[in-house]
């Protein structure tokens, strides 16, 4: 597998994280470099760790992961999206949206990197430097996620009150898209 192919895989894998980063950027009122970096690190690290894990799981568990990865991503993204929509209707303090808690970010990072686990399993069948692959995938995801947060934040200024509803709906739609793709509907 060539570096170019790994770059394309990295871009493809990072698209879900990019979309979720946009949603996260929508809900942040006071953006700063620390928040952008934190969110991008979560997505970049998990997107790199999952292929690494999948590579070492190899063929032993590939059938189980491939058969349910879309359901896991669908459920996790739908739960987080639903929570965002529910939270948008509740009274909250002015700075509540600025929090980037470990639980939420870990769930989002796992949900957007489940496919990367399956890709890692397929890497085990090719002559590939897994360390080169995960570094490329991690850097691409980190970079696109950072841009996603910034883009989402700029867009969110125009739609302050609806940001979490939009973000929640996008997460649910991403989950549905993943599920339908894997079921062969799309």
* Residue 133 falls inside a structural domain: yes
- Spatial contact of 32 and 150, defined as CB atoms under 8 Å apart: no
Per the structure block, which two tokens stand in for 149?
């947060």
- Sign, CA dihedral 134-136-138-141, equals negative
Per the structure block, which two tokens stand in for 154?
């700029």
Residues of the chain with pLDDT under 50: 92-97, 160
pTM over 0.75: no
* Residue 171 falls inside a structural domain: no
Domain boundaries, position 127: 3-67+101-157
Domain count, the chain: 1
Per the structure block, which two tokens stand in for 157?
């200024």
The tokens 């085990």 sit on which residue? 124
DSSP 8-state assignment for residue 25? H
* Residue 173 falls inside a structural domain: no
CA pair distance 131, 114, nearest whole angstrom: 18
% residues pLDDT > 90 (the chain): 24
* Residue 56 falls inside a structural domain: yes
* Residue 136 falls inside a structural domain: yes
* Residue 176 falls inside a structural domain: no
pLDDT for 156 = 59
- Spatial contact of 178 and 16, defined as CB atoms under 8 Å apart: yes
Identify the CA nearest to 16 among candidates 104, 80, 149, 112. Answer: 112
- Spatial contact of 85 and 164, defined as CB atoms under 8 Å apart: yes
pLDDT for 14 = 86
CA max distance for the chain? 54
CA pair distance 71, 84, nearest whole angstrom: 20
Of the CA atoms within 13 Å of residue 98, those in its CB half-sphere come to: 9
CA pair distance 22, 158, nearest whole angstrom: 14
The secondary structure of 23-92 as a DSSP string is HHHHT-SS--HHHHHHHHHHHHHHHHHHHHHHHHHTTTTHHHHHHHHHHHHHHHHHHHHHHHHHHHTS--
CA pair distance 18, 167, nearest whole angstrom: 12
* Residue 184 falls inside a structural domain: no
* Residue 111 falls inside a structural domain: yes
pLDDT for 141 = 95
pLDDT for 172 = 84
pLDDT digits (tens, 9 = 90+) for 147-164: 999 988 887 555 545 656
């Amino acid at each position: 597998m060539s570096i170019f192919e790994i770059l394309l895989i990295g871009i493809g894998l990072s698209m879900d994280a990019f979309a979720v980063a946009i949603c996260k950027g929508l809900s942040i009122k006071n953006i700063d470099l620390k928040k952008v970096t934190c969110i991008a690190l979560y997505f970049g690290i998990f997107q790199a760790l999952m292929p690494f894990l999948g590579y070492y799981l190899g063929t032993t568990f590939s059938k189980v992961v491939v058969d349910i990865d879309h359901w896991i991503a669908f459920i996790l993204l739908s739960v987080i999206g639903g929570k965002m929509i529910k939270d948008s209707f509740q009274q909250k303090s002015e700075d509540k949206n600025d929090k980037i808690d470990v639980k939420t970010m870990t769930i989002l990072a796992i949900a957007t990197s489940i496919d990367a686990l399956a890709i890692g399993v397929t890497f085990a069948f090719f002559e590939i430097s897994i360390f080169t692959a995960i570094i490329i995938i991690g850097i691409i995801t980190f970079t696109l996620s950072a841009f996603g947060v910034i883009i989402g934040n700029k867009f969110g200024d125009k739609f302050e009150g609806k940001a979490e509803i939009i973000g929640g709906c996008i997460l649910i739609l991403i989950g549905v898209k993943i599920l339908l793709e894997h079921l062969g509907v799309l």
